Structure formats: structure tokens, C-alpha cells
Amino acid sequence: MGVDIQGKLRIALGAVKDHASIGKAMIYSHHEGRDFSGIEVAVLRATGHDSGPIDDKHMHEILFLVSDSPGSVHFLAERISRRLGKTRDNLVALKTLSLIHRLLRGGNRCFEQQLRNAHVSGHLQMSTRCFLRNISDPSVSFIHKYAGYLEERIGWVINQAGKLEPAMSQGDLESQCYDEKSIDMVFRKFPKCQVFIDRVLDCSPSNISPSDNLVQAAMSNTLKESFQVYKTYCESVAALVNMFFDLTRAARGLACQILKRASQQSQDLQNFFENCKRIIENKNLDYPVVQIITTDHIMALEQFSTYFGSSHSSSAPPILDRITNSTKLQTTMAGIEGDEKDAGNISWSPTLFSCSLETKISKVWVVFED
């Protein structure tokens, strides 16, 4: 009974605070001479002290007011940052972060770019330092991890096809020296995909309650975006393996390091998705099948790289026979089992990397002595 009274008292006090903050915002904006009071009021209402998720009405109101007021994005960013920086309430902090996330997902490309510029210039800040004392609290821990995810997420854009991709910075444009799309995907996008997946993995749902609507909504949006990025992730793995033997020896070493990290991530991501299936109650999430990258495949690529770089031996590295035999065994078993598949299981495919040998025409000219 004491817990219920305390909760009701907190909600009542929060409502009083919200009402006072809204009134203060309207008075301050009137004296300041700017007609941005509607934006601040909408932010305060969207991030109130109640435990419900953000009302779509407030989201649409914010987007409408910003689109109708040129130059108001920095004001919006400052008010969101101020709301997050001043609050000591977990619900308000989480709702403020969720508001940032939904604005990144719900606005047009121009608004998204302006919000990203506001973050770069320091107008939009996602600091959760005021909650450091209570880091042992599961809800506070999630707030920190969710903020870390959003710090990475704001560096991504939704392209014209509706898919997430890393934003091109000025440094990327100036230093880009890749002539082929596949090379750009591997050495620019793939490492960024790995950082993105790491931030997703940090948001472990192990302590999430089914009744926690705010965290459930935040994780649902995070998972939807992780599915998109994972598709690019898999395309990058395939592109890297296909071009592996066309790379220089130094580039092959870098590629192996990227794949080693991907091997660990693929196993962690499989466990993460399985946990989310049990805890996150959104039934509309279409989880991808995680392709496990085994260490045997990476060792095979490393040994091939060593053989090609240090000798002219025509014999294949020993580990290739083991992988080839394993692939043949899996193919045989697949023929015996037929088309029986379990949609709920993650595929442990040993053929993620093709081990077939093919003849390639080199573009490098070799100069022979007379």
C-alpha cells in the first residue's frame, strides 16, 4: 500500500511540476519576443512525468511547429537538451531520449540533417551524467545505454529507399578514394555497422519488465533499426570475402581483423535477438536470421593470405580440407532432411564464406626483364 501511495504522490507532484514548467515557458517566451513558446510547451507535454509512452499528438505538433517556424530547430534542440539536463526523474529522462529517437525517425531528411547539425554544434546534447550516482539501478543503466545508442544513431541517415546508412561527413567526402561501391561498403560502411551493432548489443533487455511501456517502445524502435543495419552488415561480409584475394596483403590483414570482430558479434547478436524475442512484446518485429561467422572460416582466409603472400605453393592450406568436408557433410544432411525448417531457430550456416576456387584475371601489369 505504501508503494502505491508513493507512486501516486510522485505522479501528482510531477503533474504540478509539468504545469508550472509550461506556464513558465509561455511567460518567458512572451517576454523574449519570440513565437517559439508552442515548441517548448509541446516538448514539455511530450516528456511529462506520467509513465505512458509519448503521445503521437505531441510528436506531430512538434514537427508541425518546427516546419512552420524557420530557424527553430536549434531552439528545439536546446529545449530538449535542457529538459534532459535538468531532470532527476527516470521517466522524464527516458521520454526525452525517446523523443529524440522519434524525431530522428519521423522527420523529413532536411529536418533530420538540421537536427544532426544541432548535435554537432552542441545545441543538442544527450548527457546523462546527472544519473551517475544511481548507475546500479537497472532503469538508470538502460538510460545510459540508450543514450549511447542515440549518440551513434544520430550519425546515420534514412536514405531515399527508407534504409539507414552512415551519414557522409566532410572528411569522408574529401578523403574518399574508392572507385568501386563494394570497396566503399567494406572499408567505410562495414566498420560503422559494427560500431552500430555494438551500441545495440549494449541495450540488453534482460531487466526489462513487460509492463514498462517506455522501455518496450524504445527497444522496439532500436530493434527495427538494427534489422536494417544488419542487412547492410551481411552484404558487407559477402563483399569483403568476394574481394579478399584482390586486396593487398596489408588490406587482407585489416580484413581479417574486421572479420574476427564480426565473428564474435554474430554470436552475441544471435543471443541478443533470442532474449528480445522472449522479453519484447512487440509481435510485429521481423527478426532476421543471424549468420554465424565461424573462426574456422577466418583461419582459412588467414592461411590463404599467408600462402599467397609468402610462397608459390599450389597446395591449399590444411584447414581448407576441413571446411570443405564440413560443407559437403552439411549439404548431404540437408538432402536427407529435405525441406524441414524451423523458422524460430537461427541458422548456423558453415557456408557463409564460399571456399570454392575460381580463376581471376589480374589488373596488375607484370614487367619482365629482357
* Residue 220 belongs to domain with CATH number: 1.20.58.150
Q: What is the pLDDT of residue 251?
A: 84
Does residue 342 lie within any of the structural domains? no
| DSSP string computed for 69-129 | STT-HHHHHHHHHHHHHH---HHHHHHHHHHHHHHHHHS-HHHHHHHHHHHHTTSS----G
Residues 49-60 have a mean pLDDT of: 88
In the three-class reduction of DSSP (H, G, I as helix; E, B as strand; rest coil), residue 157 is classed as: strand
Q: Let me know whether 160 and 292 are in one domain.
A: yes
**Which residue segment(s) compose the domain that 26 sits in?**
11-137
Does residue 92 lie within any of the structural domains? yes
pLDDT, tens digit, for every residue of 153-192? 999 998 888 889 998 765 554 445 444 556 766 788 899 9
Contact 167, 192 (CB under 8 A): no
Q: Let me know whether 75 and 202 are in one domain.
A: no
Does residue 220 lie within any of the structural domains? yes
d(CA 184, CA 176) in angstroms, rounded, equals 8
94: domain CATH number is: 1.25.40.90
Q: Let me know whether 79 and 185 are in one domain.
A: no
Does residue 336 lie within any of the structural domains? no
Q: Let me know whether 55 and 193 are in one domain.
A: no
Does residue 356 lie within any of the structural domains? no
Q: Let me know whether 21 and 69 are in one domain.
A: yes
Q: Let me know whether 118 and 163 are in one domain.
A: no
Contact 220, 159 (CB under 8 A): no
Does residue 21 lie within any of the structural domains? yes
Q: Let me know whether 257 and 286 are in one domain.
A: yes
Residue where one domain finishes, among candidates 258, 285, 309: 309
Does pLDDT of 258 surpass 80? yes
Q: How many domains does the chain have?
A: 2
Q: Let me know whether 188 and 256 are in one domain.
A: yes
Residues 191, 197, 203: CA angle, nearest 5 degrees? 150
The stretches of 180-317 forming alpha helices (DSSP H) are: 181-184, 190-202, 213-243, 249-279, 295-310
d(CA 196, CA 216) in angstroms, rounded, equals 20
Residue where one domain finishes, among candidates 309, 326, 346: 309
Cell of 136: 546500479
Q: Let me know whether 23 and 96 are in one domain.
A: yes
Q: Is 33 left (phi over 0), alpha (psi -120 to 50) or beta?
A: left
Does residue 327 lie within any of the structural domains? no
Q: Let me know whether 106 and 231 are in one domain.
A: no
pLDDT, tens digit, for every residue of 356-368? 444 445 455 545 4
Does residue 355 lie within any of the structural domains? no
Q: Let me know whether 133 and 87 are in one domain.
A: yes
Decide: residue 157, CB within 10 A, 0-12 exposed, 13-18 middle, 19+ buried. Answer: middle
Instruction: Report the percent of the chain where pLDDT is more than 70.
Output: 69
Q: Let me know whether 114 and 212 are in one domain.
A: no
pLDDT, tens digit, for every residue of 58-85? 999 999 999 888 789 999 999 999 999 9
Does pLDDT of 1 surpass 60? no
